[in-house]
Chains A and B, each alone.
Chain A
Amino acid sequence: GESVGLHLPTLSVQEGDNSIINCAYSNSASDYFIWYKQESGKGPQFIIDIRSNMDKRQGQRVTVLLNKTVKHLSLQIAATQPGDSAVYFCAEKPRAAGNKLTFGGGTRVLVKP
């Protein structure tokens, strides 16, 4: 039968604006979270990570926010640039799961010039 691919939510952003990408995770036992960027035909590229003992972490032009109460993770990109156009995945690692990462479904970000 026909396999149905994942329908990616898409965020269209004007160049220079800020982007916010959201992710809901399911496992309350997860203690480590990571955002990856994937450009077409390439592997996931590390952006930023956060442990469960933190609510916020900042990197260069990116900020990750973690709300453990509602199991929500967000990635904020400041002053979005055309090079930010990609699919963004959140991933979680449960405390007792070794080093296995469980990936979310991804959000496609399109930056309009």
Chain B
Amino acid sequence: EPEVTQTPSHQVTQMGQEVILRCVPISNHLYFYWYRQILGQKVEFLVSFYNNEISEKSEIFDDQFSVERPDGSNFTLKIRSTKLEDSAMYFCASSAATGQETQYFGPGTRLLVL
């Protein structure tokens, strides 16, 4: 069964450093998403991406964040200058098409900013 994969599973970084979280969405999907979950809190939407551009973003997704689909398979989330409060689980998700809204989530990357 196809699934979303994410790397790395864990990332520890120093405050102010840049991190790139990587995702490989399900191959025939067209919509891609990043969500995050701070420990013990709800899953929060960050950004959605379709047709090589951001289609929607939340207030959390400020100028420190960017997304990219550098090739036909990868989808990345970059945090330019990490802050302590960026520590969270980051989940990538993908869905097939409009009208097929089911979003399938990857296993997540646990980011710890020290």
By a beta-carbon cutoff of 8 Å, the part of chain A in contact with chain B is 3, 5-6, 32, 34, 36, 41-46, 49, 89, 91, 93, 97-106
Instruction: Select which of B35, B40, B55 is within 8 A of A98 by beta carbon.
Output: B55
Q: Which residue of A lies closest to B46 (CB)?
A: A100
Does B28 interact with chain A (Cβ within 8 Å)? no
A8 (CB) vs chain B CBs: closest residue: B40
Interface string of B96-112 (1 = CB under 8 A from A): 00100111111110000
B75 at the interface (CB under 8 A from A): no
A103: nearest residue on chain B (CB-CB)?
A: B43
List the B side residues contacting A89 at CB < 8 Å.
42-43
Inter-chain contact A44/B91, CB cutoff 8 Å: yes
Among candidates B4, B6, B48, residue contacting A99 with C-beta atoms closer than 8 Å: B48
Asked if B65 is at the interface of the complex by the 8 Å CB criterion, the answer is: no
For residues 29 through 45 of chain B, which have their beta carbon under 8 Å from a beta carbon of chain A? 31, 33, 35, 38-45
Taking a contact as CB atoms closer than 8 A, the residue among A43, A49, A99 that contacts B107 in the complex is A43
Contact B56 A43 (CB under 8 A): no
Contact of B33 among A3, A34, A46, A99 (CB under 8 A): A99
Tell which of A32, A42, A99 has the most Cβ of chain B within 10 Å.
Answer: A99
Size class of the contact patch on chain B = 20 to 34
Chain A residue at minimum C-beta to C-beta distance from B4 = A43
> Contacts of B55 on A, CB cut-off 8 Å?
98-99
Residues A100 and B107 in contact, CB atoms below 8 Å apart: no
Residues of B within 8 A of A (CB): 4, 6, 31, 33, 35, 38-45, 48, 55-56, 58, 91, 95, 98, 101-108
Closest 7 pairs (CB-CB, A-B):
A5-B40, A43-B105, A103-B43, A98-B56, A44-B105, A43-B107, A100-B45
* Shortest CB distance B42–A (Å): 5
A99 to B31 CA separation, bound complex (whole angstroms):
9
Listed A/B pairs (9) with beta-carbon separation below 8 Å: A6-B42, A44-B43, A44-B91, A45-B105, A46-B105, A49-B101, A99-B31, A99-B48, A100-B56
Give the residue name and chain of the B residue nearest to A34 (CB): B102
- Pair B102/A105 contact, Cβ less than 8 Å: no
